[in-house]
Amino acid sequence: MGARGVFITLEGADGCGKSTQAALLETRLAALGREVVRLREPGGTAISEKVRALLLDPANEEMSPECELLLYEASRAQLTRQVIEPALARGAVVLCDRYYDSTYAYQAGGRGLDETLVRQSNVLGSCGRVPDRTLVLDLDPATAFARATSGGADRMEAEGLAFQERVRAAYLRLANEEPTRVRVVDASGAEGEVTARLLGSLEDLVPGAER
């Protein structure tokens, strides 16, 4: 094993700016000469995108919490095996917009599914792969919710503000549990300010990121 990539995940409640920052980080990290593979969850492979459509379709409101959990894990396992592992093996920086911490925050934190069950499911869905760094974009839930729903809420976003508060609390618990991997980054302010904070939290893994 010569090349060893860097696996970075972006997390946080709906509308905190993950997708915006993923695109900005891709540009900045690619400018360092790194191959950057930017992905979003659920999705990123043909199979995973089909699962994504099932999960986000408002017509599937009868979906049980267990079914939802397993669909997220199914999508993740395919993405991990088909895209993430090969990219890391060739030395790429993998930038994933949500990964298994979302499942913990939403299914265990938000919906109240059994934590142990969700953690075990996450091990299966991620094929045992652990991100090198997880950046939690933290924003006042009311502001994030207003941003997220400005274009019309999808099924997840229709859960409301109390749900988003539970999601945020779950992310903060993870950061307490795993302070080396999980870093909370202030997501308020202008896009460029947030990007600078995120890059600062990557300097140890991607030399030059902070410049």
Buried b (16+ CB within 10 A) or exposed e, 127-148: eebebbbbbbbbbebeebbebb
Which one, 117 or 158, has the nearer CB to ligand ATP? Answer: 158
Binding span for ligand ATP by CB under 6 A among 17-25, 30-38, 62-70, 177-185? 17-25
C-alpha separations of 181 from 112, 128, 176 in Å: 24, 15, 10
d(CA 79, CA 70): 14
Among 69, 148, 167, 209, binds ligand ATP (CB under 6 A): 148
Determine the Cα–Cα distance for residues 178 and 118; give it in Å rounded to an integer.
17
Q: Should residue 105 be labelled a site residue for ligand ATP when binding is judged by CB under 6 A?
A: no
Residue 44 contact, options Mg ion, ligand ATP, none, Cβ 5-8 Å cut-off depending on partner type? none
- Pairing outcome for strands 36-40 and 133-138: unpaired
CA-to-CA distance for 105 and 92, rounded, in angstroms? 27
In the bound state with ligand ATP, the residue whose beta carbon lies nearer, of 19 and 60, is: 19
Q: Where in 147-186 is the site for Mg ion (CB under 5 A)?
A: none
* One of 20, 48, 75, 201 touching ligand ATP (CB under 6 A): 20
Q: Does residue 19 touch Mg ion according to CB under 5 A? A: yes
Q: Report the 10 Å Cβ neighbour count for 114.
A: 11
Contact window for ligand ATP (CB under 6 A) among 16-24, 25-33, 48-56, 86-94: 16-24
The amino acid sitting at 122 is N
From residue 93, give the alpha-carbon distance in Å to each of 23, 36, 89, 118. Answer: 13, 5, 10, 27
Is 19 one of the binding residues for ligand ATP (CB under 6 A)?
Answer: yes
Per-residue x/- track, 167-196, ligand ATP (CB under 6 A): -----------------------xx--x--
Does 16 interact with ligand ATP (rule: CB under 6 A)?
yes
Which residues are near Mg ion by CB under 5 A? 18-19
Which residues are near ligand ATP by CB under 6 A? 12, 14-20, 147-148, 190-191, 194
